Amino acid sequence: MKSILKTALAAVTAIGVTFGMSGSASAETEMDEILQRGELRVGVQTQGAPVSFINKDGERTGLAIEIVKMMADDLGVKLVLQDYDWKGLIPALLASKFDFIAADMTPTPQRTAQLLFSRPFFYQDTVAMTAKDSGRTTWEDLNKEGLNVGGVQGGTYVTAIKEFLPNATVKEFASGPAAAQALAAGRVDGALTDLGNAQTYVGGYDNLMILDGIITREPLAFATRAENSHLKFWMDNYFELVSANGKLDRLVEYWWNSRDWEADHK
């Protein structure tokens, strides 16, 4: 099965080269460079379980990490991970520090104006958290003047706060764990995040709860530079392949839909 997948991926790469040359036989694509150097260089978020984090054994893992490990293995190259705070990922990509971003990133109109995104590999639900003793029951209860609601700086949660909770005051944090910690300490009244992370945070802080209701549903995709069309199409085809053979679904089930990863890695 693995040899079949590698053969299919090699065919996809060859087809992409053939049709991506635009008449120039000497043009090199990002995929050519990856294969020649024998390395797949990927930018990931420093700390954001269950997508990317350092586990109890000191190893980096998570949904996005296991996907790119699988990508590199099937492509037959070495995986090189570079970790950044969330707000540093796009600037580092644009500065050519790595080939693409592997994170729980939404292809918003602002981001797609400067980046190329793969097809979505997953869809996430945005929810709100608050303190258990707050008396609030739904996310709409946070839409009041005088309430502070946290989100990750440069992320879509800050945008969602401004759009759906216009009466609240936005408080920005470097990461999701930092926002959850501030909420648990009482420094903010609520925080927006995805359902998977919210379940992790309320499991780690006894005084937090998830409010009723889904605020938004967002696609998640990997991002590369605007000129890397061959790499973008390769990622699209890769997600089609691993969706068809069930590998992607198994990763999503383990990392997102269950809590099994906590027992194994925390």
What is the tens place of the pLDDT at every residue in 205-259?
Answer: 999 999 999 999 999 999 999 999 999 999 999 999 999 999 999 999 999 888 8
pLDDT at residue 171 in the model: 98
Phi, psi of 208, rounded to the nearest 5 degrees: -110, 155
Whether the pLDDT of residue 17 is over 50: the answer is no
Question: Going by DSSP bridges, is the β-strand pair 39-45/78-84 parallel, antiparallel, or unpaired?
Answer: parallel
Q: Are residues 44 and 143 in the same domain?
A: no
Q: Are residues 50 and 86 in the same domain?
A: yes
Q: How many domains does the chain have?
A: 2
Q: Are residues 223 and 109 in the same domain?
A: yes
Torsion of CA 31, 34, 37, 42, to 10 degrees: 170
Element (H, E) at 163: helix 156-164
Q: Which residues pair with 214 in a beta bridge?
A: none
Question: Exposure of 185 by Cβ count < 10 A (0-12 exposed, 13-18 middle, 19+ buried)?
Answer: exposed
Domain span including residue 165: 125-217
R_g of the chain computed on alpha carbons:
20
Q: Are residues 184 and 244 in the same domain?
A: no
Question: By C-alpha distance, which of 161, 49, 171, 154 is closest to 111?
Answer: 154
For 52, residues 6+ apart whose C-beta sits below 8 A from its C-beta are 44, 45, 46, 60, 61, 62, 63, 64, 65, 83, 102, 103
Percent of the residues in the chain that have a pLDDT greater than 70, as a whole number: 90
Q: Are residues 35 and 165 in the same domain?
A: no
